[in-house]
Amino acid sequence: MKNPGEAAEPPSVDDVQLKVPVLQQLYHWDCGLACSRMVLQYMNLLNDDEFQKAIQDLQLTKSIWTIDLAYLMRHFGVKHRFCTQTLGVDKGYRNQSFYRKHFDTEENRVNQLFAQAKACKVAVEKCTVTIQDIQEHLARGHAAIVLVNAVLLLCDLCASPVKHCCFLPIGQKCFCRSPDYQGHFIVLCGYSKASGSIYYNNPAYADRTCSTSINNFEEARTSYGTDEDILFVYRDS
């Protein structure tokens, strides 16, 4: 996987740690927006007033899909590439507890966004992404937003895992049962080939960069429900 215009030979870097700021989500549903804010701030493009206006202009509500984040990057003029396994909504998600509540109202909206992507200059592609592709991207100083199954993603550095059931702000009680799938966005910000680790910012936290094994990361990002969604963003926007 090569981005048009980039050098044919990727840099050979064994350890990458990008200084992507850690910003915490405010609600149980806005992890994707928090990740977008991290990426925009990393590129010195974040203005809170403009960001709020963009959310209103794009009519982003409590159901955020990866295609929404791609439109958000386009809104800010950020060079991006959204890779996915499904160009639209997988009808099989109708029966998943994570998607069921908003599925009927969201299906047409999301499919329409995919249909209009090319005309709106939103870069979407159906393709398979390898861990090597991801590492090459990070080695060039670019970050990426990835949809993972939070039930499966385990940080090697955190003493106790985040309650994957809802990511509620501190002080709010959770009454959820542990689901099979819990969609959650994270920002990739580095890797270590020596330890076989991937570094990422989890918007459920405000004070740390997390790390997991490549095997665990691959399991979480390719889980059924994610469509293997990954939004590559480029600093040379």
Q: Distance (Å, rounded) from C-alpha 182 to C-alpha 162? A: 12
pLDDT of 236 reads: 81
Q: What is the mean pLDDT of the chain?
A: 88
Antiparallel, parallel or unpaired: β 144-149 and 183-192: antiparallel
Residue 235 structure tokens: 């600093």
**pLDDT digits 0-9 by tens, 9-44:** 555 689 999 999 999 999 888 999 999 999 999 999
Asked if pLDDT for residue 6 goes beyond 80, the answer is no
Antiparallel, parallel or unpaired: β 124-126 and 80-84: parallel
Antiparallel, parallel or unpaired: β 183-192 and 210-213: unpaired
Query: How many C-alpha atoms does 237 have within 13 Å on its Cβ side?
Result: 22
> Which H or E run includes 103?
helix 97-116
In the 8-state DSSP scheme, what is residue 14?
Answer: S
pLDDT of 162 reads: 56
Cα radius of gyration rounded to whole Å, the chain: 17
Selected residue with higher pLDDT from 8 and 180? 180
